[in-house]
Structure 1
Amino acid sequence: MEHKIRCIIVDDEPIAIDYLSDYVQKTPQLQLVGTFNRAKEAYESVAKGNVDLLFLDIHMPGLSGLDFLRTLTNPPQVVLTTAYSEYALESYSLNVTDYLLKPIGFERFAQAINKVAKALNQGNKLQEEPKRDYLFLKSGYKSVKVPIGDILYVESMKVYVIFHTVEGLQFVKNERLKHVEALLKEHNFIRVHKSFMVSMDHITAFYGNTIEIGETEIPLGRSYREEILRILDWKG
């Protein structure tokens, strides 16, 4: 990589911040751009897109590390740093890059950084590819070219997803919603519920915990609400 990996540390334990900061200083490819004692304090830095890597503790006062991670629509690479091993499975469902158990040795820290660097390099290669504005989705015995701009929202049904379009058509794909999210987030789609992603371009109204797209009502999940309100600049 040509530029250094910009990272922040979010941890309510001063001693953890101290030794992680020391590890970062000892790693030439890293650049420490901030440390925070609370997850909410780190939001602005992450939201601005000025962070490539987030070292995130899980147990913190107020907003936990995992809940904070769920609020991010476009998170950077994430390395969880915690004394609790029981959250490992849940954390990987949130696409974290690595999971470090405290106390963290420098060798294990370095292994995590190698994973981060590899993931970032792969991401850079993908960004160099032309951006597609369509998907081929299955309809009967053939695959149909569907403009992404025609997709209103995507609904998860466990092991497959349904794409709802402006023409009232539905296309089913054998895929997990988190994989679809990674593909569509660069096309102005946002996750509003564990089972729904919506196109911000097609949102027509909002009230309470409901988003309207035309006459369709879509639930707004509690853990997504604060972030969605911030993105769309809604008040109340």
Structure 2
Amino acid sequence: MIRCIAVDDEKPAMDLLADNIGRVPFLQLVGKCRNTAEAYECMRNEQVDLVFLDIQMPGITGMDWLKSLPTLPMVILITAYEQYAVEGFAVGVTDYLVKPVPFDRFLKACHKAHEIFLQKKNSIPPLPNPVSRDFMFVHVEYRQVRVNFSDVVMVEGMKDYVKIHLDGLRPILTRMSMKAIEEKLPESIFQRIHKSYIVSVPRIREIKKGLALIGEHEVPVSDHYKEKLEERLGL
């Protein structure tokens, strides 16, 4: 299933786009965004494989927003303007649709994205490099603070910040997205179990009714991450 978001500031266009997405069996709409700021927030908190994006919107345009992203998901541009096609493909978009979009053309673009998605999913990933260090540094009030992975109990997302809960030490609050800190933490130890929580798997003491007991903390386990967690714990 391809998890996607729709980004368009016009409600009629958004409603039509959401309806078209709902007609494609391998797409799951996980967010409807009125602008690129909402889209960015959604991508911080959700796994997003594909973005359906309008170009002309208030504030930063869809094209400028794409150029600002450090990594680009699959993107299908949907716009009333033909002149951005060359620029769009130069940026690396999957397809470019001009409004009004016939459903058969929309479906063709979705199948193109599906093929790319399956190729990535079925490719054999390289063996992960062993963790070369057992710590990271995070920015806290104009200084860089060392955090040992062995001390981390869990990480809690708090809008533009994350709170790193440590064993026997005061929590650390740093301005960082959940996605960014997830990339810093070794997968061999940590796992995301909710859009707002990453936990140290060896510290999980109990699982019950959608909750994980980590130390003295009861942390929610969302349905999206439940299967992977149970598989890892051998449940």
1:129 to 122, 125, 129: 125
2:99 to 91, 102, 108: 102
1:115 to 112, 116, 123: 112
Residues 40 and 68 of structure 1 are in contact (CA less than 8 Å); yes or no, is this contact kept in structure 2? no
Q: Return the alpha-carbon distance in structure 1 between the equivalents of residues 75 and 53 of structure 2.
A: 7
The range that moved more, 48-57 or 103-112, is: 48-57
Are 2:64 and 1:54 aligned? no
Structure 1: 5+ residue runs without aligned partners? 134-148, 150-200, 202-228
RMSD value, Cα: 2.5
* Counterpart in the other structure of 2:82: 85
1:131 CA displacement: 4.2
1:130 counterpart letter in structure 2 = P
Moved over 3 A (4+): 229-233
2:31 to 19, 31, 34: 34
Residues 6 and 53 of structure 1 are in contact (CA less than 8 Å); yes or no, is this contact kept in structure 2? yes
Residues 69-124 of structure 1: CA deviation (Å, up to 9, x unaligned)? 11222222100000001000111111100000001111001000100001111112
| Pairing 1:172-191 to 2, within 5 Å after superposition | none
1:28 CA displacement: 1.1
SS at match of 1:86: coil
After superposition, the Cα gap between the structure-2 partners of 1:106 and 1:116, relative to the gap in structure 1 and judged at 3 Å, is same
| Pairing 1:215-230 to 2, within 5 Å after superposition | none
Q: Return the alpha-carbon distance in structure 2 between the equivalents of residues 48 and 120 of structure 1.
A: 20
- Normalising by structure 2, report the TM-score: 0.53
Structure 2: 5+ residue runs without aligned partners? 138-174, 182-235
- Percent identity, aligned pairs only, is 43
Residues 57 and 82 of structure 1 are in contact (CA less than 8 Å); yes or no, is this contact kept in structure 2? yes
1:9 CA displacement: 0.5
Residues 12 and 37 of structure 1 are in contact (CA less than 8 Å); yes or no, is this contact kept in structure 2? yes
After superposition, the Cα gap between the structure-2 partners of 1:131 and 1:44, relative to the gap in structure 1 and judged at 3 Å, is farther
1:47 CA displacement: 3.0
Residues 121-178 of structure 1: CA deviation (Å, up to 9, x unaligned)? 111233x232487xxxxxxxxxxxxxxx9xxxxxxxxxxxxxxxxxxxxxxxxxxxxx
* Counterpart in the other structure of 1:75: 72
SS at match of 2:101: coil
